[in-house]
Amino acid sequence: MTDQLHKYISLLKQKGAVHVKTIDTDTIVVAPWTIMKCRYGCPRYGKNRSCPPFAPAAEETQKILQCYSRAILFSVSSMDSGTPAALECASALTNDGFYKVIAFGTGPCTLCKECSLANCPQPHRVAPSMEACGIDVVATVRAAGLPINIPPKPDEPLNCYGLLLVD
C-alpha cells in the first residue's frame, strides 16, 4: 500500500508534513463527543464552513469512512499549513485516478475576514478538520503509532494532523 502511495507521501513532505503514514480506515476512531469541544469552548463554532454544525457529524463520518479502506494520516507543525497540503495532495490523487479522495485539514477555515457561509467564494479551498467531523484525533494518531503532544508543551513543536481518505 505504501509503495503505491509513495508519490503522495513525498508530496505531503514537500508541503511541510513531518509525519506521514498510510493507515487502514478501520483504525480511525470516531467519537461523537468531539463536537462538544467545538460547541462549548471554540469561538469558531458555527462561523465557517469547515466547522460544526456544517461539518458532517460523527454518524455521517462513520458511514463515509465505511466507503474507504485506506487513508494517509499526516502531521504539520502549523495549523495553517495542513489544509492546503491536504487539498493539494487530494488534487494530485484525483488527477491520478483516485476519484474518491476526500481531504481533512487542520483547524477552522480562516481564508476570509468574514465568512459568508452560504456563499463561500472558494469552497475548493475549504476542508473540515477530523475533529470537526467527530473523529478522535488523539486516539487515531496513537493507534497509528505517531506522536501527538497532548497537552502541547511550549518548547515542543505542534503536531497538527490531517487526513486523506484515498481508496
Which residues of the shown chain bind ligand SF4 in the complex (CB under 6 A)? 48-49, 109, 111-112, 115-116, 120, 122, 125-126
Neighbours of 148 (CB within 10 A): 18
> From CA 50, how far away is CA 69, in angstroms rounded?
24
State the minimum distance, in angstroms, from the CB of residue 162 to ligand SF4.
16
| Of residues 46 and 157, the one with the C-beta less far from ligand SF4 | 46
| Of residues 54 and 68, the one with the C-beta less far from ligand SF4 | 54
State the DSSP code for 129: B
| Of residues 47 and 142, the one with the C-beta less far from ligand SF4 | 47
State the minimum distance, in angstroms, from the CB of residue 74 to ligand SF4.
21
**How many Cα neighbours within 13 Å face the side chain of 35?**
18
Neighbours of 146 (CB within 10 A): 18
